[in-house]
Structure 1
Amino acid sequence: MKRSVVNIIDGKTVHPTGDSERFIVDPATGDEIARVRDSSDRDVAAAVSAASAAFDGWSRRTPANRHALLHRLADLLEQHSEEFLKLEVANVGKPIAAFREEFGDCVDGIRLGAAAGRNLTTPAATEYLEGVTSAFRREPIGVVGAITPWNYPLLQAIAKIIPALAVGNTMVIKPSELTPLSTVRFVELANEVLPPGVLNVVIGDGTGTGAALTRNPAVGIVSFTGSVVGGQAVALSAALGLRKAIMELGGNAPAVVFADADVPRAASLLAASGLFNAGQECMASSRLLIHQSVRDEFVEALLAEIGAVRLGSTFDEATTLGPLISQKQLDRAVGFLDRLPSSAQILCGGSRADRGGYFLEPTVVTGLGHEDEIIQNEVFAPILTVQTFSDDDEALTLANGTEYGLSASVWSSNSGRTSRFARDLKAGMVWINEHLKFGPDCAVNGFGASGFGIENGLLGATEFTRLKHVLTSQH
Structure 2
Amino acid sequence: MPTRFQNIVNGRPTPARASGDRAVLNPSTGETIVEVADSSPADVADAVAAADAAFPGWSRLTPAGRHKVLTRLADALEDNAADVVDLEVANAGKPVSAFRDEEFPDCVDGIRLSAAAGRSLTANASGEYLDGVTSSFRREPIGVVGAITPWNYPLLQAIAKIVPALAVGNTMVIKPSELTPLSTVRFVEIANEILPPGVLNVVMGDGPGAGAALTADPRVGVVSFTGSVAGGRAVAVAAAQGLRKSVMELGGNAPAVVFADADIPRAARLLAASALFNTGQECMASSRILVEESAHDELVAGLKAELENVRLGDARDEATTLGPMISQKQLDRALGLLDRRSGTAEVLTGGKRPESDGFFLEPTLITGLRQDDELVQTEVFAPVVTVQPFRGEEQALAMANGTPYGLSASVWSSDTGRTARFARDLRAGMVWVNEHLLFGPDCAVNGFGESGFGIENGLMGATEFTRLKHVLTSHH
Structure 1 residue runs of 5 or longer lacking an equivalent are none
Distance of 1:4 and 1:137 partners within structure 2 = 39
Aligned partner of 1:26 in structure 2 is 26
Aligned partner of 2:67 in structure 1 is 67
Aligned partner of 2:97 in structure 1 is 97
Shift of 1:354: 2.2
Distance of 2:272 and 2:128 partners within structure 1 = 56
Distance of 1:21 and 1:34 partners within structure 2 = 10
Shift of 1:18: 3.6
Aligned length, in residue pairs: 475
Shift of 1:308: 1.2
Q: Deviations over 1:396-416 (max 9, x none)?
A: 000000000000000001111
Residue type of the alignment partner of 2:95: P
Distance of 2:473 and 2:235 partners within structure 1 = 39
Distance of 1:202 and 1:394 partners within structure 2 = 48
Cα separation, partners in 2 of 1:423 and 1:302, compared to 1, 3 Å: same
User: Secondary structure at 2:347's aligned position in 1?
Assistant: strand
TM-score by length of 2: 0.99
- 1:413-424 → structure 2 map (5 Å cutoff): 413-424=414-425
Residue type of the alignment partner of 2:92: V
User: Secondary structure at 2:323's aligned position in 1?
Assistant: coil
Aligned partner of 1:77 in structure 2 is 77
User: Secondary structure at 1:213's aligned position in 2?
Assistant: helix
Residue type of the alignment partner of 1:426: R
Distance of 1:306 and 1:78 partners within structure 2 = 33
- 1:151-166 → structure 2 map (5 Å cutoff): 151-166=152-167
Shift of 1:272: 0.3
Residue type of the alignment partner of 1:45: A
Q: Deviations over 1:178-219 (max 9, x none)?
A: 000000010011000000000000000000100000000000
Residue type of the alignment partner of 1:198: V
8 Å Cα contact 1:323/1:358 also seen in 2: yes
Q: Deviations over 1:111-142 (max 9, x none)?
A: 00000000001111111111111110000000
8 Å Cα contact 2:225/2:249 also seen in 1: yes
Aligned partner of 1:433 in structure 2 is 434
Distance of 2:315 and 2:352 partners within structure 1 = 20
Distance of 1:336 and 1:231 partners within structure 2 = 22
8 Å Cα contact 1:2/1:33 also seen in 2: no
User: Secondary structure at 1:436's aligned position in 2?
Assistant: coil
Aligned partner of 1:58 in structure 2 is 58
8 Å Cα contact 1:4/1:34 also seen in 2: no
Shift of 1:313: 2.1
Aligned partner of 1:470 in structure 2 is 471
8 Å Cα contact 1:2/1:35 also seen in 2: no
Aligned partner of 2:141 in structure 1 is 140
8 Å Cα contact 1:253/1:405 also seen in 2: yes
Distance of 1:369 and 1:308 partners within structure 2 = 27
Shift of 1:4: 7.1
User: Secondary structure at 1:321's aligned position in 2?
Assistant: coil
User: Secondary structure at 1:146's aligned position in 2?
Assistant: strand
Aligned partner of 1:280 in structure 2 is 281
Shift of 1:17: 1.0
- 1:196-345 → structure 2 map (5 Å cutoff): 196-345=197-346
Percent identical residues: 71
Distance of 2:388 and 2:181 partners within structure 1 = 38
8 Å Cα contact 1:336/1:374 also seen in 2: yes
Distance of 1:353 and 1:245 partners within structure 2 = 41
Shift of 1:314: 1.1
Residue type of the alignment partner of 2:351: G
Q: Deviations over 1:75-129 (max 9, x none)?
A: 0000010001100000000000110120000000000000000000111111111
Distance of 1:308 and 1:97 partners within structure 2 = 17
Distance of 2:299 and 2:189 partners within structure 1 = 48
Structure 2 residue runs of 5 or longer lacking an equivalent are none
Shift of 1:225: 0.1
Distance of 2:330 and 2:266 partners within structure 1 = 31
Q: Deviations over 1:34-74 (max 9, x none)?
A: 10110011100000000000000000001111111111111
Shift of 1:275: 0.6
Q: Deviations over 1:380-432 (max 9, x none)?
A: 00000000000000000000000000000000011110011001000000000
Distance of 2:19 and 2:160 partners within structure 1 = 31
Q: Deviations over 1:149-195 (max 9, x none)?
A: 00000000000000000000000000000000000010011000000
Aligned partner of 1:385 in structure 2 is 386
Residue type of the alignment partner of 1:73: L
8 Å Cα contact 2:4/2:186 also seen in 1: no
Supply the RMSD in Å over aligned alpha carbons: 1.1
8 Å Cα contact 2:216/2:239 also seen in 1: yes
Moved over 3 A (4+): 1-4
8 Å Cα contact 1:2/1:32 also seen in 2: no
8 Å Cα contact 2:264/2:298 also seen in 1: yes
8 Å Cα contact 2:160/2:457 also seen in 1: yes
8 Å Cα contact 1:145/1:219 also seen in 2: yes
Distance of 2:440 and 2:135 partners within structure 1 = 37
Tell me whether 1:444 sits opposite 2:472 in the alignment: no
User: Secondary structure at 2:45's aligned position in 1?
Assistant: helix
Residue type of the alignment partner of 2:78: E
Tell me whether 1:12 sits opposite 2:12 in the alignment: yes
8 Å Cα contact 1:3/1:33 also seen in 2: no
Distance of 1:439 and 1:228 partners within structure 2 = 23
Distance of 1:20 and 1:143 partners within structure 2 = 28
TM-score by length of 1: 0.99
Shift of 1:356: 2.2
Distance of 1:402 and 1:454 partners within structure 2 = 21
User: Secondary structure at 1:98's aligned position in 2?
Assistant: helix
Distance of 2:297 and 2:280 partners within structure 1 = 23
8 Å Cα contact 2:314/2:324 also seen in 1: no
Distance of 2:470 and 2:313 partners within structure 1 = 57
Aligned partner of 1:351 in structure 2 is 352
- 1:184-199 → structure 2 map (5 Å cutoff): 184-199=185-200
Tell me whether 1:110 sits opposite 2:87 in the alignment: no
Distance of 1:151 and 1:22 partners within structure 2 = 19
User: Secondary structure at 1:124's aligned position in 2?
Assistant: coil
8 Å Cα contact 2:26/2:33 also seen in 1: yes
User: Secondary structure at 1:247's aligned position in 2?
Assistant: strand
